[in-house]
Structure 1
Amino acid sequence: MKIDWAALGSVFGVSLVVTVALVGLFTLGIVGLSQRSPAPAAGGEAAAADATTPQGTAARGGAGSGGAMALVGAYTCFALCVAAVGYGIYLIVA
């Protein structure tokens, strides 16, 4: 049996790069989802807790269009992850 080491190294390198890119995209999606503001709790306890913190809700990036852009970016990252996994499954099946 003869092993083509160049082809094996190429497959290893490409799979390593794609894996790191996919994990990075998924991480960016999680970070984008964490930028939206949480729903206010019943009884006003969340508002009181925000009033005592020096950053408030602006530090979380949830208010305004920045939170909406983070949410769109997160969904885009997740869609790219799904597309990459789907393409990989297509390559295996075909």
Structure 2
Amino acid sequence: MHIDWAALGSVFGVSLVATVALVGLFSLGIIGLSKRERAAESGGSAVLATTTAYACFAACAAAVAYGIYLIVA
């Protein structure tokens, strides 16, 4: 049995980068929603924060959908 360590390392690296990126995007979405709530409490407008939050969540959903597509195809 032969293990291709270079391919295994490549898969590990891509997985790590993708995981950190998705967690970062989701965290930015949560931060955007919390800023929206703070702005609503103070009577301000938070259109940019809301738009950014929804864009981050959409990017996360797109990445998950692409991953499922890669698994199924």
Name the TM-score, length of structure 1 as normaliser. 0.71
Aligned mate of 2:44, from 42, 46, 63: 63
Aligned match of 1:80 = 59
**Aligned 8 A contact 1:29 1:75 in 2:** yes
> Which runs of 4 or more aligned residues in structure 1 lie more than 2 Å from their structure 2 counterparts after TM superposition?
37-40
Aligned length: 72
Rg comparison, structure with higher value: 1
What 5-or-longer segments of structure 1 have no aligned partner?
41-56
Name the TM-score, length of structure 2 as normaliser. 0.91
Deviation, structure 1 residue 24: 0.2
**Aligned 8 A contact 1:25 1:78 in 2:** yes
Counterparts of 1:1-94 in structure 2, within 5 Å, are 1-37=1-37, 57=42, 63-64=44-45, 67-94=46-73
